[in-house]
């Protein structure tokens, strides 16, 4: 389980502000600068804002999104997850449910009222970043658990192969897999997957006395 550290210092981070009226947000930019953040304004072009995901950094960038914009904003998603790629602070002028809902759909985890008051900036930033980090850690843990669950069938196949070719009990076969996965610094599921795939390519490698070849770029020779 990934541990999540509470972020309180935002020095050297970058604020991306998406709005059509940057003059009205001067106080926001000043407050963010005093917190040690650099500020980049993103103005709509041709009725939309397209963000370059290759230039975004999850551990550095924070998006401040004006909820009063009636345009399309392309907020990149975190690879493999239904989650924005960076924390989002929704800036609210008119508290209409439709506008709040749109900010939620973009991934807002905190809000700040317009006109912006300096005393509310740190609070909104703190909530957005730390809530986002919690959601990201939870989603990554869930993704990892789902991946390991899908790979468990390889553990069963590997245990059966070891029992067949080397006369091990099911407990002995699993213990061997566990120990070898620790030596290879990988999970039991991933190690078993490599073993089964290697056995499918080279069945003779699993026969008694021949050992087992497991690995990808650098094959690891393991003999029972």
Task: Provide the β-strand partners of residue 48.
Answer: 45, 72
Per-residue pLDDT of the chain (224 residues; tens, 9 = 90+): 567 889 999 999 999 999 888 877 888 999 999 999 999 999 888 888 989 888 998 889 999 999 888 788 899 999 889 899 999 999 998 888 888 999 999 999 999 998 898 899 999 999 999 999 999 999 998 888 888 788 788 899 999 988 888 888 999 999 999 999 999 998 898 899 889 988 888 766 555 554 444 444 333 344 44
Cβ count within 10 A of residue 26: 10
Separation CA 152–CA 181 (nearest Å)? 14
Task: Look at strands 88-92 and 72-74 and give their pairing.
Answer: unpaired
| Angle of CA points 51, 54, 60, to nearest 5° | 85
Please tell me the predicted confidence (pLDDT) of residue 123.
Answer: 96
Please tell me the predicted confidence (pLDDT) of residue 207.
Answer: 59
Please tell me the predicted confidence (pLDDT) of residue 2.
Answer: 63
Please tell me the predicted confidence (pLDDT) of residue 208.
Answer: 55
> Which of 68, 72, 109 minimizes the C-alpha distance to 92?
68
Please tell me the predicted confidence (pLDDT) of residue 221.
Answer: 43
Domain boundaries, the chain: 14-141, 150-222
Separation CA 199–CA 14 (nearest Å)? 50
Separation CA 202–CA 198 (nearest Å)? 6
Q: Which CATH class for the 150-222 domain?
A: mainly alpha
pTM: predicted TM-score of the whole model, two decimal places? 0.72
> Which of 115, 13, 131 minimizes the C-alpha distance to 66?
115
* Domain 14-141 annotated CATH 3.40.50.2300: yes
Separation CA 198–CA 212 (nearest Å)? 8
- Using CB atoms within 10 Å of the CB of residue 17, give its burial: 0 to 12 exposed, 13 to 18 middle, 19+ buried: buried
> Which of 181, 171, 84, 169 minimizes the C-alpha distance to 128?
84
């Amino acid at each position: 389980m990934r541990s999540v550290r509470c972020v309180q210092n935002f020095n050297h981070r970058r604020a991306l502000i998406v709005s059509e009226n940057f003059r009205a947000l001067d106080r926001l930019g000043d407050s963010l600068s005093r917190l040690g953040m650099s500020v980049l304004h993103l103005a709509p072009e041709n009725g939309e804002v397209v963000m370059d995901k290759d230039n975004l950094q999850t551990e550095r960038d924070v998006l401040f999104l004006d909820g009063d914009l009636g345009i399309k904003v392309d907020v990149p998603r975190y690879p493999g997850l239904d989650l924005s790629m960076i924390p989002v602070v929704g800036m609210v002028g008119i508290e209409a449910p439709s506008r709040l809902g749109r900010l939620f759909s973009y991934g807002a985890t905190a809000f700040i009222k317009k006109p912006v008051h300096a005393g509310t900036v740190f609070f909104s930033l703190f909530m957005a970043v730390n809530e986002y980090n919690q959601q990201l850690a939870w989603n990554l843990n869930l993704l990892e658990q789902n991946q390991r669950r899908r790979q468990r069938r390889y553990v069963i196949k590997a245990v059966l192969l070891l029992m067949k070719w080397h006369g091990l009990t099911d407990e002995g076969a699993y213990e061997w897999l566990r120990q070898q996965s620790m030596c290879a610094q990988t999970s039991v599921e991933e190690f078993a997957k490599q073993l089964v795939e290697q056995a499918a390519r080279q069945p003779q490698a699993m026969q008694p006395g021949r050992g087992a070849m497991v690995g990808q770029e650098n094959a690891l020779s393991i003999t029972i």
